[in-house]
Structure 1
Amino acid sequence: MNKGTPRSMAMKPARQNRTQRSAGRRHPLATAALIVVGLLATGGTYALFTTSATAETSAAAEATIEDGGKLFAANCATCHGLNLQGTKQGPTLIGVGAASVDFQVGTGRMPLAATGPQAEKKPVQFTEEQVSALAEFVASKAPGPAIPSAEYLTGEGDASEGAELFRINCAMCHNVAGAGGALTEGKYAPPLAGIAPNHVYDAMLTGPQSMPVFNDDNITPEQKANVITYLKYLDETPSVGGFGLGNLGPVSEGLFIWIFGLGGIVAITIWLTARSN
Structure 2
Amino acid sequence: MAKSTPLQSKKQRPARRSKLASIALITIGLLATGGAYALFTTSATADTTAGSEQLISQGSKLFAANCATCHGMNLEGTKAGPSLLGVGAASVEFQVSTGRMPLAQSGPQAQEKPSQFTTEQTKALYTFVASKAPGPGIPDKTYLGGNGNAAKGAELFRINCAMCHNVAGAGGALTQGKYAPALTGVTAQHIYEAMVTGPQNMPVFNDKNISPTDKANIITYLKYLDQNPSPGGFDLGNLGPVSEGLFLWIFGLGTIIGVTVWLTAKAN
TM-score norm. by structure 1 comes to 0.88
Deviation at 1:165, TM superposition (A): 0.8
Q: How does 1:58-207 map to 2 (within 5 A)?
A: 58-207=49-198
- Give the structure 1 partner of residue 47 of structure 2: 56
Letter matched to residue 67 of structure 1: Q
Q: Is it true that 1:27 corresponds to 2:17 in the alignment? A: yes
- Distance (whole Å) between structure 2 residues aligned to residue 42 and residue 143 of structure 1: 35
Letter matched to residue 247 of structure 1: N
Equivalent pairs: percent with the same residue?
Answer: 69
Letter matched to residue 126 of structure 1: F
- Distance (whole Å) between structure 2 residues aligned to residue 127 and residue 266 of structure 1: 57
- Distance (whole Å) between structure 2 residues aligned to residue 145 and residue 53 of structure 1: 25
Rg bigger for which structure? 1
In structure 2, list runs of 5 or more residues that go unmatched. Answer: none
- Distance (whole Å) between structure 1 residues aligned to residue 167 and residue 42 of structure 2: 52
Deviation at 1:161, TM superposition (A): 1.1
* 1:243 pairs with one of 220, 234, 238: 234
Deviation at 1:126, TM superposition (A): 1.1
In structure 1, list runs of 5 or more residues that go unmatched. Answer: 1-6
Deviation at 1:35, TM superposition (A): 3.5
- Distance (whole Å) between structure 2 residues aligned to residue 146 and residue 221 of structure 1: 13
- Distance (whole Å) between structure 2 residues aligned to residue 101 and residue 55 of structure 1: 26
- Distance (whole Å) between structure 1 residues aligned to residue 140 and residue 45 of structure 2: 21
Write the deviation string for residues 106-130 of structure 1: whole angstroms up to 9, x where unpaired: 1110010010000011111111221
- Give the structure 1 partner of residue 37 of structure 2: 46
Deviation at 1:75, TM superposition (A): 0.8
Deviation at 1:148, TM superposition (A): 1.4
Write the deviation string for residues 174-197 of structure 1: whole angstroms up to 9, x where unpaired: 000000000000000000011111
Higher mean C-alpha deviation, range 266-275 or range 91-100: 266-275
Deviation at 1:27, TM superposition (A): 2.4
Letter matched to residue 144 of structure 1: G
Letter matched to residue 61 of structure 1: S
TM-score norm. by structure 2 comes to 0.91
Deviation at 1:32, TM superposition (A): 4.8
Deviation at 1:267, TM superposition (A): 3.0
Deviation at 1:272, TM superposition (A): 3.7
Q: Is it true that 1:218 corresponds to 2:221 in the alignment? A: no
- Distance (whole Å) between structure 2 residues aligned to residue 28 and residue 269 of structure 1: 115
Write the deviation string for residues 34-62 of structure 1: whole angstroms up to 9, x where unpaired: 34322221211111111111111111111
SS class of match (2:248): helix
- Distance (whole Å) between structure 2 residues aligned to residue 189 and residue 155 of structure 1: 22
Q: Aligned Cα RMSD in Å?
A: 2.2
- Distance (whole Å) between structure 1 residues aligned to residue 46 and residue 16 of structure 2: 43
The number of aligned residues is 264
Letter matched to residue 94 of structure 1: L
